[in-house]
Amino acid sequence: MNLRIARLHHPVTALGPGIRLGIWTQGCSLACPGCLSRDTWSAGPEHAVPVRSVLDWCEGHAADGVDGVSLSGGEPSEQPEALGELLNGLAERRERYHWDLLCWTGLEEAEFAARCPAAYGLLDGLVTGPYRAAEAGGGRWRGSANQRLIPLTALGRERYGPWTGTEPAPDAPGELQFQVESDRVYVIGVPRPGDPARIQRALAQRGVMLDGVTWRP
């Protein structure tokens, strides 16, 4: 089975606890106003890769001290069967490597569970709700105050429990990572209000002019 993928990255330290594997699915029809990741909206077949190859990539990092896997998008729930197959494979590895499995969705918990029952039953935690620009700046690893971090298992309660509040944690460490690949700069994490413009200005001051950004059409 194939899964549309926007990108894979290791190590991810700004989306979930510890050192993580990041899997961004491709395709989102929710079109939240103010979305910072418009590049993940299109659902073309050119983004499809075998689930097996994603699992092989994860396995290849197993010896690197990985604590968990963060699945984001795009909207992961728009590929329910492939997401279920991926999580099946990851859940096997969770037993072996003690990884936790955390997923972001623009749906509410009940909607996600109804659309993706197999995936829902395998996750340790879910970050739910659409991004709402008018409520920008929610709790840790969330973009707006309506979004919830919901532990679903004992492992999830252990690892995410301290961070379920909806207010930004005052002592939270810096939550953005930057990665430069060829002629692209990737920002990993959940920017706070004003961060995108600040990032663009800071890059410009260092002579890096961006031709386009993912938060504007």
Residues that bind ligand SF4 (CB under 6 A): 28, 30-32, 35, 37, 40, 73-75, 106, 130-131
Q: Which is nearer to ligand SF4, 66 or 102 (CB)?
A: 102
Q: Rounded to an integer, what distance in angstroms lies between the CA atom of residue 207 and that of residue 168?
A: 32
| Least distance between ligand SF4 and beta carbon 68 (Å) | 20
Q: Residue 102 class from Cβ within 10 Å (0-12 exposed, 13-18 middle, 19+ buried)?
A: buried
| Least distance between ligand SF4 and beta carbon 130 (Å) | 5
Say if residues 22 and 10 touch (Cβ distance below 8 Å): yes
| Least distance between ligand SF4 and beta carbon 104 (Å) | 7
Q: Which is nearer to ligand SF4, 41 or 160 (CB)?
A: 41
| Least distance between ligand SF4 and beta carbon 120 (Å) | 17
Q: Which is nearer to ligand SF4, 23 or 35 (CB)?
A: 35
Q: Which is nearer to ligand SF4, 67 or 109 (CB)?
A: 109
